[in-house]
Amino acid sequence: MAKVLITARSVAANKEGKAILENAGHEIITHVSDGVKSEAEMIRIIPGMDAVIAGLDEITDKVIEAGVPGLKIIARNGVGYNKVDVEAAARLGIPVTLAPGTNTISVCELVFGLMLSLARVIPGQDAQVRQGSWKRNLGCELYGKVLGVLGTGNIGSEVIKRAHAFGMEIIAFDVWQKPELCQNYNVRYLSLDEVVVKADFLTLHLPVTPDTKCLMNERTLTDMKKNAFIINTARGELVDEKDLYTALKTGTIAGYGADTLTQEPPAPDHPLLTLPNVVLTPHCGAYTEDAVTRCSVTAAQEVVRVLSHQEPKYAVAVKA
Ligand SMILES: NC(=O)c1ccc[n+]([C@@H]2O[C@H](COP(=O)([O-])OP(=O)(O)OC[C@H]3O[C@@H](n4cnc5c(N)ncnc54)[C@H](O)[C@@H]3O)[C@@H](O)[C@H]2O)c1
């Protein structure tokens, strides 16, 4: 019987993922806490484990070395692996696996939650009603509006399908264009500057790279329509938050809806928290029962594969 350590809270609480491990005859040891686990904590709990299913915990070279010789797989319950020293794992012959595509729909649906929240002032009106007011805020429809999509990868593509059903006109920017989106959903690929200028709603679905960091800054924000909204479920670093605050405060753009900030959680005095035209969620894009189940199942299946001497399906490729 192999020992599988689960440090990811959502996986530890998920019946389907755990059933896969138990049915394969493995023993589950859970260590979950409110925050992410430090290197010291991981070093304390990893010895003697055959596998770990980890959240955003620190899996440094020292943690991985502490798991040797027993540790055979590090399964992440997501797609990011910046907290895992993949080179150290590769050196020790331990695969690091991911759960790609499991949260795409959940993040995509949150985009529409944020978009409609901004368009119809839902959080603000809810707060007013609770305070005894029946005052209405004049909203706007999504129908007929121009949706600018920056990044037409997994999430951006799903957003496009649903935006088409809302009757939106869709323009997009990506280094890798998908002709099927143009054929099926009338998407027009344009330059970044053209998308920024024309969009009524601009939704961000790019990774953070040196090319995309602070892509939305004083210059690009100033180019936008005054009644435009930005939705950011990707990463806070895509936006210069100081410039964004100024643009929102001075009416350069109409509103911002985000699931992610540069610093998470934000400092209590973060300027964006003071603005009524900002809607924020706590990086919960992937946090649905459905996505958590898909993710837990994928991570558990990877563990079972590796512990039965099969190749994992979604191992991170490490350059030699
Ligand atoms: N809020 C959440 O909980 C949550 C969950 C999952 C993913 N995300 C974030 O959402 C974003 C998109 O995720 P995804 O799964 O759709 O990624 P993806 O890799 O499928 O798509 C990214 C797209 O960006 C394009 N791209 C990359 N660099 C570019 C550049 N310099 N210029 C133009 N285009 C570029 C790629 O060609 C690709 O089409 C990522 O930032 C990811 O971290 C957030």
DSSP track, 56-94: S--B-HHHHHHHTTT--EEEESSS--TTB-HHHHHHTT-
* 205 a catalytic residue: no
In a domain, 27, yes or no: yes
Tokens standing for residue 96: 């690091």
| pLDDT tens, position by position, 169-196 | 999 999 999 999 999 999 999 999 999 9
Domain total of the chain: 2
Q: Which residues contact 76 (CB under 8 A, 6 or more apart)?
A: 53, 54, 55, 84, 96, 97, 98, 99, 299
* 264 a catalytic residue: yes
Is 120 found in the same domain as 64?
no
Residue 211 Cβ inside 6 Å of ligand 1? The answer reads yes
| pLDDT tens, position by position, 6-60 | 999 999 999 999 999 999 999 999 999 877 899 999 999 999 999 999 988 999 9
Is 116 found in the same domain as 70?
no
Spatial contact of 4 and 22, defined as CB atoms under 8 Å apart: no
Instruction: Name the residue range of residue 269's domain.
Output: 104-280
Q: What end-to-end distance do the CA atoms of the chain give, in Å?
A: 33
| pLDDT tens, position by position, 93-145 | 999 999 999 999 999 999 999 999 999 999 999 999 999 999 999 999 999 99
Beta bridge partners of 3: 27
Q: What SS3 class is residue 258? A: strand
Residue 233 Cβ inside 6 Å of ligand 1? The answer reads yes
Classify the phi-psi angles of 267: left when phi > 0, otherwise alpha if psi is within -120 to 50, otherwise beta: beta
For residue 302, the CA-to-ligand 1 centroid distance in Å is 24
Mean per-residue pLDDT of the chain? 96
For residue 45, the CA-to-ligand 1 centroid distance in Å is 33
Q: pTM for the complete prediction?
A: 0.90
* 283 a catalytic residue: yes
Residue 259 Cβ inside 6 Å of ligand 1? The answer reads yes
Question: Among all chains, which residue has been given the structure tokens 């300027």?
Answer: 271
* 268 upstream amide cis, omega within 30 of 0: no
* Closest by Cα among 120, 207, 214 to 155: 207
In a domain, 316, yes or no: no
In a domain, 318, yes or no: no
CATH number for the domain spanning 251: value is: 3.40.50.720
In a domain, 156, yes or no: yes
